[in-house]
Amino acid sequence: MGGHEQHHVVLFPVMAQGHINPFIALADLLHRRRPDLKITIVNTPLNIQSIKSSLPPNSTIRLRSLPFSPSDHGLPPGTESTAGLPFSLFINLLEASESLHPHFEQLLHDIAMEDGRLPSCIIADNFLAWTVETARKLGISHSVFITGGAFGHALLLSIGLHFLRLPTTQTNHVSVPDFPEIQIDWSQLPRHLFVPDNADKWTGFFHRQNSYCFQSNSMLVNTVKEFETTGLSMLHKLFRLPVFPVGPVLCKPLSSSLDDVSRCVEWLDSHRPGTVLYVSFGSQNSINASQMMELAVGLEESGKPFIWVIRPPFGFDVGAEFKPEWLPEGYEERMREKKQGLLLVHVWAPQLDILGHGSTSAFLSHCGWNSVLESLSHGVPIIGWPLGGEQMYNSKFLEEEVGVCVELARGNREDMMSAKVEREGVKKVVEMVMGGTEKGVEMKKKAMEISELIRASMEVNNGVMGSSIQSLEEFFTAFNLS
């Protein structure tokens, strides 16, 4: 820290748990590397309450709320995050986040009154890149924090900048304008482009936020340099900003009940090492009803043991009671009797305990970035089933560039070919990844190598810093925070 001045960094995640968690972990990392730094996380009142409950009681990280009224934005009462929110209302929440602009500016003035000076730096979500205007106005440094991966975001941000409408001719391959060497499939375009009523709002929002990114001073990314060299140079090429890979910043997610932890661990203990498939579509997503039926049969026919975190199918209320008819007749009892499957219905699964258990062999995942990092940190290869957004490109990257993933299906829209799942396909992919095939063995080896890279990136050994710690130090220097 330069002289006696105490620098103050303000962190501002968008209102979604999958973004808030990495921001909390980043705040913790900043604090561990610079205990003298003042750190404040800003959000809406309910999110601030939940952040508070996930910080240790003696934490020095400060929290500040901005006034927010969900009903002013057509959101159900008490809605301040994406949890349980229907996809059609996501855009309301995102647009609502832009309305926080004057409150955020006022908060910075309040902080200046209290501290006798303005904060030194704002670190904001790339969905809240508008904060750069406030930073410029007040003469504060600004950095965008990308909570996802570099490759996935480079493609997503580029698409957000260029595709204001769905490309008019449906061909199998679409070139991403900034990266002509990369072809994506029509089915990998963001889901919002296909929603006619909301398309203008979504594209407008992303276009605005992505354009603001250009004015920022740098980008922090939740990834590891050695793992994402290509993606990091793509981000740099797109925005011409210094890019600092400081990941993995992983926050221990909401804790599961002790009963659920011991239920899963005991179940895994009762299976042989490296034999169990873990199936989960993240904190808020689900597949559709016919996909669920085919997946259930395919898993049963594969004969492999599995733990499946299961919610009502896409299109039904996420909190609704789970109906037995969504699964084959007698399925849950049969899986229990055969000791083949443990179904976690409406349970917050202890994902880290499951992935860290020696019996877990592979993860059938929607490829959300936290899940990807958690899986690879434990050397667990992935069966990809991306459902939207940058998950599509995460899966592509993991399969084509890294070789730790095989994609089983894509999306949950009934009308998409890529979303058609048949039981034979499930069986085939599970067998390929878990059945001792050459491909499966190679994927496991790669995943173990990546876990080693990830671990080393965060270590400091005899003064030698891992790449992510080194990168964070470079960020401190560049922003004059050292």
Give 37 or 373: the residue with its C-beta nearer to ligand UDP: 373
- The nearest distance, CB 300 to ligand UDP, in angstroms, is 22
Q: How far is the CB of 256 from ligand UDP (least distance, A)?
A: 7
CB 39 → ligand UDP: shortest distance, Å? 22
CB 228, min distance to ligand UDP, A: 16
Return the number of the residue (61 or 344) whose C-beta is nearest ligand UDP: 344
Residues ≥6 apart with Cβ < 8 Å to 321: none
Three-class SS string for the chain? CCCCCCCEEEEECCCCHHHHHHHHHHHHHHHHHCCCCEEEEEECHHHHHHHHHHCCCCCCCEEEECCCCHHHHCCCCCCCCCCCCCHHHHHHHHHHHHCCHHHHHHHHHHHHHHHCCCCCEEEEEHHHCCHHHHHHHHCCEEEEEECCCHHHHHHHHHHHHHCCCCCCCCCCEEEECCEEEEEEEHHHCCHHHHCCCCHHHHHHHHHHHHHHHCCCCEEEECCCCCCCHHHHHHHHHHHCCCEEECCCCCCCCCCCCHHHHHHHHHHHHCCCCCCEEEEECCCCCCCCHHHHHHHHHHHHHHCCCEEEEECCCCCCCCCCCCCHHHCCCCHHHHHHHHCCEEEEECCCCCHHHHHCCCCEEEEEECCCHHHHHHHHHCCCCEEECCCCCCHHHHHHHHHHHHCCEEECCCCCCCCCHHHCCCHHHHHHHHHHHHCCCHHHHHHHHHHHHHHHHHHHHCCEECCEECHHHHHHHHHHHHCCCC
- Token pair for residue 470? 């080194």
Would you say 15 or 309 has its CB closer to ligand UDP? 309
CA separation for the pair 125, 14 (Å, rounded)? 6
377 or 457: CB nearest ligand UDP: 377
CB of 216 or CB of 371, closer to ligand UDP: 371
Q: How far is the CB of 410 from ligand UDP (least distance, A)?
A: 15
Residue 248: CB minimum distance to ligand UDP, A:
11
| Complex with ligand UDP: residue 350 or 466, whichever CB lies closer | 350
Q: How far is the CB of 433 from ligand UDP (least distance, A)?
A: 19
Q: Which is nearer to ligand UDP, 160 or 386 (CB)?
A: 386
Q: What is the closest distance, in whole angstroms, from the C-beta atom of residue 147 to ligand UDP in the complex?
A: 8
Pick between residue 186 and residue 348 the one whose CB is nearest to ligand UDP. 348
Residue 190 CB, nearest distance to ligand UDP (Å)? Answer: 14
Q: How far is the CB of 236 from ligand UDP (least distance, A)?
A: 23
Nearer residue to ligand UDP within complex by CB, 18 or 190: 18
Q: Which CB, 166 or 404, lies closer to ligand UDP?
A: 404
Q: Which residue ranges make up the site for ligand UDP (CB under 6 A)?
A: 18, 253, 280, 282-285, 309, 348-349, 351, 368-371, 374
